[in-house]
Amino acid sequence: MGGTALAAASSGTPATATARTRVLVIEDERALTDVLAYNLQREGYEAVLAHDGQEGLRKAQTLLPDLILLDLMLPTMSGLDVCRELRSGERTRDIPIIMITAKAEETDQVVGFKMGADDYVTKPFSVKVLLERIKALQRRLDGGAEPADVVEHLHVRIDRLRHRAYMDDQELDLTPTEFRLLECLLRQPGRAFSRHQLMDAAIGEGAIVLERTIDVHIKTLRRKLGQMDLIETVRGVGYRFRERSPE
């Protein structure tokens, strides 16, 4: 996508991002990174650029950005491999990741989310829309007037302040999306959530995703909890966290 079209898509509104919020852009198309950097800086973000997978991984591990925009098709190391490495690292596993790619097939989106991506944007895209997706993800991470920071039900406990989750006092290795999804379900056990409601809770309002995406997250979350029946499927609706312990 051409830089002129991207620049024209800028929101043109005053900067609203939190000062010094650092966004790492890992993208090999230099014209695109230049335009993204310009628009991010215009909105008050600090933009850091990397033009191949290995460089992006190295900068992510050393700079620990607040958010990463990650292209799927990269030289030296694919975006999926970069995502996998970040999610396996102690210091980088909780960094929010928005994947940016020309691949729009359903399987690519499912694989991207399965690897731990928090959101997915396909080219061509509007920078204004991308910025709104970033802000929606930030709002979900930052919260606002929040309920209790520690919630526990049926031996599952989440601690929002420390961003940790436990099952029978054993810490769970969750992606940021899985953590927010579990939090949503755990706060209202017994309530049936639709897939769209869960995706809004997990990755922010306005995110456009496939319904199958939430199924991938639920499947992985069930496996990590080690008890498949804690998250119940509600036929024709979506999912709910079990209200009472199974007999």
Mind listing the pLDDT tens digit for each residue in 13-59? 444 443 478 999 999 999 999 999 999 999 999 999 999 999 999 99
CA–CA dist 192, 2 (Å, integer)? 44
CA–CA dist 148, 159 (Å, integer)? 9
Q: Give the distance from CA 232 to its chain's centroid.
A: 23
Q: Model pTM greater than 0.75?
A: no
Average pLDDT for the chain = 81
Could you count the other beta carbons within 10 Å of the beta carbon of residue 226? 11
Report whether 225 contacts 172 (CB < 8 A).
yes
Report whether 171 contacts 158 (CB < 8 A).
no
Cis peptide before 124 (omega within 30 of 0): yes
Q: 3 φ, ψ to 5°?
A: -65, -35
Query: What value does the mean pLDDT take over residues 133-152?
Result: 69
Amino acid identity for residue 28 in this structure: D
Q: How confident is the model at residue 209 (pLDDT cuts 50, 70, 90)?
A: low
What tens digit of pLDDT does each residue of 77-94 get?
A: 999 899 999 998 888 988
Look at residue 8 and tell me whether its pLDDT is greater than 60.
no
What pLDDT is recorded for position 176?
81
